Amino acid sequence: MRRTTLTLALILVPLLLHAQQRDSTLHRRALPRDIAQRVVRLYNASGTLRAQGPFDVDSGRKIGGALAVLDGPLTIAGHVAGDVVVINGNVTVTETARIDGDLLVVGGEVAGRARGYVGGEIRIYRDELRYVRRDDRIAVADSGGEEDAWWRRFEPRRDASGSKFQVASAGVYNRVEGLAVNLGPQVFYDFGNGSAQLDGYAVLRTASSFRSRANDVGHNLHGELKLGTARGVLIGAGAYNLVAPVESWGLSSLETGLAAALFRRDYRDYYEQHGGGLTAGVFQGLNNRFTLSYADEHWTPRTANNAWTLFRSNVAWRPNPVEDAAHLHLLDATLELDTRTDVENPWAGWYLMAQLEHGVGHMDSLGITDATRAYPNGRVNYNRAFVDARRYNRISRGAQLNLRVVAGGWISGDPLPLERRLSVDGYAALPGFAFRSPQGGEDVSTCTYGTIPSGYPAQCDRIALAQAEYRSDLHVRLFDWDEDSWLRPHFRADGAWVVFLDAGRGWLVGDRGGPMTYRSGEMPALSTFRSDLGAGLDFDVFGIYVAKALSTAGLPARVFVRFQHRF
């Protein structure tokens, strides 16, 4: 037993001593070596005024070059025309202080850094410099090479350019493609004052690309050159064969994809977009841009496939409407302005997206609509506009009133192709009404009358939607038991409670007399708009709401979940 104890002691004592040594080493870590060398270089520089111990630069005094203080502290009330280096000491900056260069402090802190003026950079390192004296100069003490390990992980990567092979989702999970996957290379190049990027992808579709009898593989080749970083100009070009949504301004892509993949409910309609185009524009930041684009596109209707879903797999998908087949030249002007305090959780600011499109070309075949459309010799020439404007207003520390207007549709020319028609429908627009449902009287949401075309397409020439919501902070704390309880089930969440009101409708443009049809200069009476009222709890990550139709009696209240704010 004694021998065993002795053996254990012989093993453990060195280990304990080593552990203790490690612990003490931990607190004596030196500066990163490159910083230490920079400090020493500045201190030893021939033009530097060197001082040791407490040092003051009085108000009214001017030092023409750099100042280095070893084992400070340093108080600056005067003017230093160069850099200031303080080694192993604190710095106090007063309101009259002026440093034209950098302020570099190692082994100390800076008090009053916001009071005085520092023209250059302020760098503060709390670790002390371990140095040795050589006459009036200093050198870095040997740090044993331990420090480089941490810093080596952050070696600057100068390879701002590169390439990679992408395998990534190419769009929203939907009933036409299933999951679309981009497969191909991406090359990018940063040149300091701008960037260039080239992408070339094959687009594989899980619902159709792997069937032996079909060759349904799309492509997306895109190149973009940006001149400027914070602001500048951009030009781009692309060639593509993609499945595109008819309308995408409603539910977010996340929510649309989840509803499709989980519950077999697809809230968008799709068509094939095959062609190429050019884009040029200006940008400021990430969210403000104005672009002009030209595209030459072939549009082809697509049918729904039996895409896999997690639930309700025995239920048929809603058919994808038969859209128009056309060959069009499209000229688009798009403006995006965003002054919101935060893109995801804005308290205040504007968001504006406005688009103007001129389309000219040939209609090869027409999809099914209730209203008769005529294109002489198959030629089409139309103009269309779309605006989504939002204003976020903070009315107190914990409440806000947000407003949104969405409007758009035909401006002039021939009737819009089905791919450019609109609806005011679904949980993002009028959640008090069922999606694609004639309930509620005349279907002013999709402008459908008579026999409902397969897939229930959006047919409106114009739409208008207004939304308002009041949000207020909500603090929930449920089952928050005592800290010392063995079990502490609790649910705590900070979110918002929301009350909202929506009103909107779509209509057709033409001679009066037809259903839901108004002249070009007319707008339907507000009393004909669908409206709903609702409330909910929004926890940022998700929100749960209930909405009740106001304009139509007898419709049940509808409960729904959103994975982002309503707008």
Partner 1 sequence: MRAPVRLLLASLLAFAAPALAQRDAGVHVSIQPDHGSLAPMVSASGVLDDPQFQELMKNGFPVQLHFRLELWRTGGLFNELERSTSWDMFVQYDPDPYQSAYRVLRRNGKLREDFGALPSLASAQAILARPYRVSLAPARAGTKYYYNVVLDVESLSASDLSELQRWLHGDLQPAVRGRANPLSALKNGIGRLLSRVLGGAKRSYEATSPTFVAPRR
Binding to partner 1 (CB under 8 A): which residues in 263-282? 263
Nearest approach, Cβ of 488 to partner 1 (angstroms)? 9
Q: Which is nearer to partner 1, 118 or 366 (CB)?
A: 118
Q: Which is nearer to partner 1, 117 or 210 (CB)?
A: 117
- Residues near 26 by beta carbon (within 8 Å), at least 6 away in sequence: none
Residue in 52, 90, 253, 334 binding partner 1, rule: CB under 8 A: 253
Nearest approach, Cβ of 127 to partner 1 (angstroms)? 4
Nearest approach, Cβ of 371 to partner 1 (angstroms)? 33
Nearest approach, Cβ of 560 to partner 1 (angstroms)? 9
Q: Which is nearer to partner 1, 184 or 524 (CB)?
A: 184
Answer yes or no whether residue 165 interacts with partner 1 by CB under 8 A: no
User: Which 6-25 residues touch partner 1, going by CB under 8 A?
Assistant: 22-23, 25
Nearest approach, Cβ of 149 to partner 1 (angstroms)? 5
Residue in 43, 55, 131, 201 binding partner 1, rule: CB under 8 A: 201
Chain centre distance of CA 293? 23
Residue in 2, 157, 213, 475 binding partner 1, rule: CB under 8 A: 157
User: Which 532-561 residues touch partner 1, going by CB under 8 A?
Assistant: 539-542, 544, 559, 561
Residue in 20, 345, 365, 437 binding partner 1, rule: CB under 8 A: 345
Residue in 52, 96, 143, 186 binding partner 1, rule: CB under 8 A: 186
CB-based contact 234:281 (threshold 8 Å): yes
Residue in 56, 190, 332, 336 binding partner 1, rule: CB under 8 A: 190
Backbone angles phi, psi at 44, to 5 degrees: -80, -10
Q: Which of 502, 487, 467 is nearest to 389 (CA)?
A: 467
User: Which 475-514 residues touch partner 1, going by CB under 8 A?
Assistant: 490-494
Answer yes or no whether residue 522 interacts with partner 1 by CB under 8 A: no
Nearest approach, Cβ of 487 to partner 1 (angstroms)? 14
Residue in 69, 180, 304, 547 binding partner 1, rule: CB under 8 A: 180
- Residues near 509 by beta carbon (within 8 Å), at least 6 away in sequence: 409, 410, 461, 462, 517, 518, 519, 520
User: Which 397-436 residues touch partner 1, going by CB under 8 A?
Assistant: 397-398, 401
Tokens of 260: 């499709």
Backbone angles phi, psi at 371, to 5 degrees: -80, 145
Answer yes or no whether residue 151 interacts with partner 1 by CB under 8 A: yes
Q: Which is nearer to partner 1, 134 or 153 (CB)?
A: 153
Query: Would strands 517-518 and 491-509 be described as parallel, antiparallel, or unpaired?
Result: parallel
Tokens of 441: 């009287």
Q: Which of 566, 565, 550 is nearest to 432 (CA)?
A: 550
Residue in 156, 376, 521, 554 binding partner 1, rule: CB under 8 A: 156
User: Which 22-41 residues touch partner 1, going by CB under 8 A?
Assistant: 22-23, 25-27, 29, 34
| CA distance linking residue 549 with residue 431, whole number of Å | 8
Nearest approach, Cβ of 228 to partner 1 (angstroms)? 10
3-state class of 441 per DSSP? coil
- Residues near 206 by beta carbon (within 8 Å), at least 6 away in sequence: 177, 178, 179, 180, 181, 307, 308
Q: Which is nearer to partner 1, 379 or 477 (CB)?
A: 477
| CA distance linking residue 125 with residue 421, whole number of Å | 61
CB-based contact 555:515 (threshold 8 Å): no
User: Which 438-457 residues touch partner 1, going by CB under 8 A?
Assistant: none
Residue in 172, 444, 498, 555 binding partner 1, rule: CB under 8 A: 172
| CA distance linking residue 381 with residue 360, whole number of Å | 4
CB-based contact 519:509 (threshold 8 Å): yes
Nearest approach, Cβ of 293 to partner 1 (angstroms)? 14
Tell me the DSSP string of 386-438: EEEEEEEEEEETTEEEEEEEEEEEEEEESPPPGGG-B---STTT-TTS-TT--
Nearest approach, Cβ of 192 to partner 1 (angstroms)? 8
Nearest approach, Cβ of 298 to partner 1 (angstroms)? 22
Q: Which of 176, 539, 164 is nearest to 322 (CA)?
A: 176
Contact characters 97-136, partner 1, x per CB under 8 A: ----------------xxx--x-xxxxxxxx---------
Q: Check residue 460 and report its DSSP letter.
A: B
Q: Which is nearer to partner 1, 13 or 544 (CB)?
A: 544
Nearest approach, Cβ of 35 to partner 1 (angstroms)? 8
Number of residues that bind partner 1 (CB under 8 A): 90
Q: Residue 308 is inside which H or E element, if any?
A: none
Backbone angles phi, psi at 332, to 5 degrees: -120, 140
The dihedral formed by the CA atoms of 13, 18, 20 and 24, expressed in degrees to the nearest 10: 160
Instruction: Count CA atoms within 13 Å of residue 424 on its CB side.
Output: 31
Stretch that binds partner 1, among 57-65, 165-173, 267-275, 295-303 (CB under 8 A): 165-173
Beta bridge partners of 294: 278, 331
Q: Which is nearer to partner 1, 308 or 311 (CB)?
A: 311
The dihedral formed by the CA atoms of 422, 426, 431 and 436, expressed in degrees to the nearest 10: 100
Q: Which is nearer to partner 1, 56 or 540 (CB)?
A: 540
Residue in 13, 278, 315, 395 binding partner 1, rule: CB under 8 A: 395
Beta bridge partners of 330: 295, 359
